[in-house]
Structure 1
């Protein structure tokens, strides 16, 4: 559930920590947290993680959804759970992508979001 406008920094930090802890508890692999504040209006943070198989991706996503709900962050929107190659969980200020390793490597979305901002590097 998206957080209300002006959500507190501590609430965002708690949501981020809840998500990261859940992913670690589920034995998700190669967990990367990316601060996208000011880069996208979609969220403040993006987390990218991998599961070892379709079954593991499903288990990681299910555990994360349950953890967020139990921590009081409501029901997140989910896409891709039925195929379990790439599951997207939109928890408002945090977007989580859980991939099978070969799918993650193919799309390589964290590279795109971690790329330097070209406007900032332009010399006038």
Structure 2
């Protein structure tokens, strides 16, 4: 998943382990795209690649406006934001007590 996002030039890709914190998934991936168009394209590419790998997509929300797209791939929840929307919601802060110890940065800007 993170490889697809990295290939599409996603920014600030973070993987957050959720084991012991939530039963909804094992991991959460959070990434940013520079524009709504890029956010939508990244989500569509990721959905296509996961389907090719026979990964069940349980939900895909927010694609129409593409300010914040959520892709539920069962054990992994992916959130792709425009940067200002990501800053506003601060989703990663909700899941990590000590962010430096728990979050794994992925990609070229890590």
SS at match of 1:73: coil
Larger-gyration structure (1/2): 1
Query: Is the counterpart of residue 70 in structure 1 residue 52 in structure 2?
Result: yes
- Within the candidate set 25, 37, 41, 1:55 is matched to 37
Distance 2:97 2:71 in 1: 22
Q: Could you say what secondary structure the match of 2:13 adopts?
A: strand
Q: Distance in 2 between matches of 1:76 and 1:85?
A: 20
* Aligned position for 2:83: 101
Partner residue of 1:30 out of 12, 16, 21: 12
1:80 equivalenced with 2:65 (yes/no): no
Structure 1 segments (4+ residues) deviating >6 Å = none
Instruction: State whether residues 65 and 76 of structure 1, in contact with CA within 8 Å, keep that contact through their aligned partners in structure 2.
Output: no
Contact 1:57–1:100 under 8 Å retained in 2 = yes
Higher strand share: 2
1:55 to partner: Cα distance:
0.2
So what's the TM-score if we normalise by structure 2? Answer: 0.85
Q: Please list every run of 5 or more consecutive structure 2 residues that lacks an aligned counterpart in the other structure.
A: 99-110
Number of residues of Structure 1 aligned to a counterpart in Structure 2: 98
**RMSD value, Cα:** 1.0
Q: TM-score, normalised by structure 1?
A: 0.76
5+ unaligned residues in a row in structure 1: which ranges?
1-18, 117-124
Which protein has greater RCO, CA pairs closer than 8 Å, 6+ apart?
Answer: 2
Select the structure that is richer in helix: 1
